[in-house]
Amino acid sequence: MHPSVHARSNPDKAAIIVAETGEAISYGELDAASNRAAQLFRAHGLGHEDVVAFMLENTPHYYGLTWGAQRSGLRYVCISSRLTQDETDYILENSGAKMLVVSASLGAAAQQLNTTITRFAMGGDIDGWARWEDAVAAMPATSVADERAGVDMLYSSGTTGRPKGVRVPLPEERAIDATNSLVMLASAVFQINSDSIYLSPAPLYHAAPLRWSMTIHRLGGTVVLMKKFDPEAALAHIEKYRVNSSQWVPTHFVRMLKLPAEVRTRYDTTSLKVAIHAAAPCPIPVKQAMIDWWGPVLFEYYAGSEGNGMTFVSSSDWLTHKGTVGRPILGAVHIMGEDNETELGPNEEGTVFFESENVFEYHGDSEKTASSRNSRGWSTLGDVGKVDVEGFLYLTDRKSFMIITGGVNVYPQEIENHLVTHPKVADVAVVGGPHDEMGEEVIAVIQPADMADANDEFRGELIAYAREKLSGVKIPRRIDFMEALPRHDTGKLYKRLLRDQYWDKAKAEA
C-alpha cells in the first residue's frame, strides 16, 4: 500500500496530527504535498538515484518531503539537527546531495554550512535561501511522469566516529505502492492497520521513527507526531488521542518511570495495545516496571539502519527470557569469535552477525563496509552478545565501547543498566579512562536527578549500590557528575565525546 491509495479512498482522514497543537494533515493533503515535492525535485533536475537532504525539526510537513522523494525514485538523507557544522558538511558531501531543505528555525546553523547545492528554507526565512513553500506552491499536485520507488539513505548518529551513510539498492519493484518487510511485520506481528493511532515521540531524522511512521501511512493509520519528547506530555497524548500503538527507546521509559507516582497514574494509557521499542537494550528492571505498568504490550526488536537482519520478542517471551532482544525474524543470527570466522556455541559471547540476503554498503567507505563482513558474507552492526539454546539473542554491548582494565574485558552496558535504576540518578554513562597501572579504569558519569546531590556522599552511595549487583572489576573507580549527558534525541549517547575528554586530558598532562 501507499498513502496515495488512502488519499483516493479516504482523502479527509488524518494522516498526521501534531500532538501538542492538534494541527492535522489529511491523506489528501499529504498526497498533494508529496506530488508537488516530487515535481519540484524534477524541476531542479533530480532524477532516479539522485540524493536530496533534509535537516528539519519535527514538523508534519516532513512527510510531504519524504513521500515526495520516495515517489520520485530519490535517495533521501534525513540529517540530525543536533550535528555539528563539520558533521553536516561531511554528510552533504559524502552523500552527494543535490538539494537541501532546512527548517528556518535552524537558520543560524544552516548559514554556517560550506555547501553550494540548491537550498530551501521551510517554515520561515533564511537569508539568501529560497522559500520551500513558495517554490512548491507553483508545482502541480499531480504525479511525475516517471514515478518509481525511492529509498532513504540514513547516517549513523556519529556516536563512535564519523557518521556512516547506509546505502541500499533502490527497491527492485519500481511501483511506489509495493510492499516491504517492515509493512508485513507491522501488519502481521503488531496488527497495525488503518485503525491504528500511532504516537511517534522521537525525531524523524532517525531510522525507527521515520520508517515506522511512514509504515503507518502505508497501512492507512494516523501518526500522532510529538514535536519534542516530554515524559508527562507523552502520557497525556496517549490519553487524549486514544493512542493504540507507539514506538520508543529505553531512555523514554526511564524518564517516564522517574515521574512521581501520582503523575504516572493520572493518565489513562489503557488504549495502548502495542508499545514497540528498540535502539538499545532495555535494562531488565526498567522493562519489567513498564510491563507492570502498561501490561504485556511491549514488543522489542533488534536491528539497524543497515537492514541486514532483525530479532523480535513479545512481552510474554521476554518475561520467561529476561534481557533477551528476541529470536530472528529476518535473517539468521550467528555468534562469532575474535577472528569473526569461528562460530561459537550456545551461551558463548562473541560478535553478533546476521546471515541474510539483504545487502548494504557504507556509502563512500569501502573499508568500513568490508570490516562489517566476514568471509561468508555475513554482516555485523558491531554488537557483542550470546544466543541461548532456544535461539534467543542477548546483547552485551557494542564492541567499540568495551573497557579493558587489567586485562579484563568490561562492557559498560551492564553497569549503566544497574546504576540508572537508582532513584536519584537521571542518566548515566560508563566509559574507560586512562590508568597508569590498569591500562583503563571504569568511569561512571552521572546525571543526578538533582544536582544538589553531586557530592562525595552520593559517590559513596552509588559505589555501595553498584556493589549490590556488580563484581569488583565492574565497580567504577571514578564517578563524575554532569548536569546533562550528551545524549542524542533518539536516546543514543555520544559516548565517544565523553571518553575522548578523559583521554585528551591525559595526553595534555603527559
- CA nearest neighbour of 350 among 334, 336, 371: 336
In total, the chain counts a number of residues equal to 510
Considering the domain architecture, whether residues 415 and 450 belong to the same structural domain is answered as: yes
Task: Give a yes or no: residue 190 inside a domain.
Answer: yes
- Count CB atoms within 10 A of the CB of residue 477: 15
Whichever domain contains 142, its CATH number is 3.40.50.980
Q: Which residue has the cell 543526578?
A: 448
Give whole-number Cα distances, 333 to 154, 209, 247, 384, 392, in Å.
23, 25, 24, 12, 10
Considering the domain architecture, whether residues 428 and 408 belong to the same structural domain is answered as: yes
What is the sign of the dihedral through the CA atoms of 390, 392, 397 and 400?
A: positive
Considering the domain architecture, whether residues 374 and 273 belong to the same structural domain is answered as: no
How much helix, strand and coil, in percent to the nearest 5, is found in the chain? 35, 25, 40
Beta bridge partners of 398: 383
Task: Give a yes or no: residue 40 inside a domain.
Answer: yes
All three cell numbers of 414? 551492564
SS3 of 399, please?
Answer: helix
Task: Show Cβ contacts of residue 78 under 8 Å, excluding neighbours closer than 6 positions.
Answer: 53, 54, 56, 66, 152, 154, 204, 205, 206, 210
| Cα(132)–Cα(142) distance, integer angstroms | 18
246 φ, ψ (degrees, to nearest 5): -165, 170
Per-residue pLDDT tens listing for the chain (510 residues) = 899 999 999 999 999 999 999 999 999 999 999 999 999 999 999 999 999 999 999 999 999 999 999 999 999 999 988 777 888 999 999 999 999 999 999 999 999 999 999 999 999 999 999 999 999 999 999 999 999 999 999 987 554 457 788 888 888 888 898 888 788 888 888 889 999 999 999 999 988 899 999 999 999 999 999 999 999 999 999 999 999 999 998 889 988 999 999 999 999 999 999 999 987 778 888 899 999 999 999 999 998 888 889 999 999 999 999 999 999 998 999 999 989 999 999 999 999 999 988 888 888 888 888 888 999 999 998 888 999 999 999 988 776 777 878 767 787 888 998 999 999 999 999 998 888 777 789 999 999 999 999 999 999 999 999 999 887 888 999 999 999 998 866 667 777 788 888 888 877 876
All three cell numbers of 471? 563484581
Give residue 411's pLDDT: 78
Considering the domain architecture, whether residues 170 and 253 belong to the same structural domain is answered as: no
Last residue of a domain, which of 152, 178, 204?
178
Last residue of a domain, which of 138, 158, 178?
178
SS3 of 478, please?
Answer: strand
Strands (E), 337-419: 350-355, 361-362, 379-387, 393-398, 403-405, 408-410
Last residue of a domain, which of 380, 399, 418?
399
Considering the domain architecture, whether residues 363 and 415 belong to the same structural domain is answered as: no
| Cα(205)–Cα(155) distance, integer angstroms | 9
Alpha carbon of residue 81 to chain centroid: 14
Task: Give a yes or no: residue 97 inside a domain.
Answer: yes
Task: Give a yes or no: residue 313 inside a domain.
Answer: no
Give residue 461's pLDDT: 95
Considering the domain architecture, whether residues 409 and 505 belong to the same structural domain is answered as: yes
Considering the domain architecture, whether residues 170 and 246 belong to the same structural domain is answered as: no
Give whole-number Cα distances, 230 to 16, 233, 235, 505, in Å.
19, 5, 9, 35
Q: How is the beta sheet containing 350-355 ordered, strand by strand?
A: 332-336, 350-355, 379-387, 393-398
Asked if 368 contacts 156 with a C-beta cutoff of 8 angstroms, the reply is no
Whichever domain contains 409, its CATH number is 3.30.300.30
| Cα(202)–Cα(206) distance, integer angstroms | 8
SS3 of 198, please?
Answer: strand
Considering the domain architecture, whether residues 77 and 97 belong to the same structural domain is answered as: yes
Considering the domain architecture, whether residues 174 and 29 belong to the same structural domain is answered as: yes
Considering the domain architecture, whether residues 167 and 29 belong to the same structural domain is answered as: yes
| Cα(329)–Cα(299) distance, integer angstroms | 13
Asked if 200 contacts 213 with a C-beta cutoff of 8 angstroms, the reply is yes
Task: Give a yes or no: residue 318 inside a domain.
Answer: no
Task: Give a yes or no: residue 272 inside a domain.
Answer: yes
Q: Residue 206 belongs to what domain range? A: 182-305
Considering the domain architecture, whether residues 172 and 215 belong to the same structural domain is answered as: no
Task: Give a yes or no: residue 443 inside a domain.
Answer: yes
In order, the DSSP letters of 94-149 are: HHT-SEEEEEGGGHHHHTT----SEEEEESS--TTSEEHHHHHHTS-SS--TT-B-
Task: Give a yes or no: residue 64 inside a domain.
Answer: yes
Give whole-number Cα distances, 105 to 55, 65, 487, in Å.
11, 17, 21
* Domains contained in the chain, number: 4
Q: Within 13 A of 30's CA, how many CA atoms are on the CB side?
A: 33
Considering the domain architecture, whether residues 334 and 256 belong to the same structural domain is answered as: no
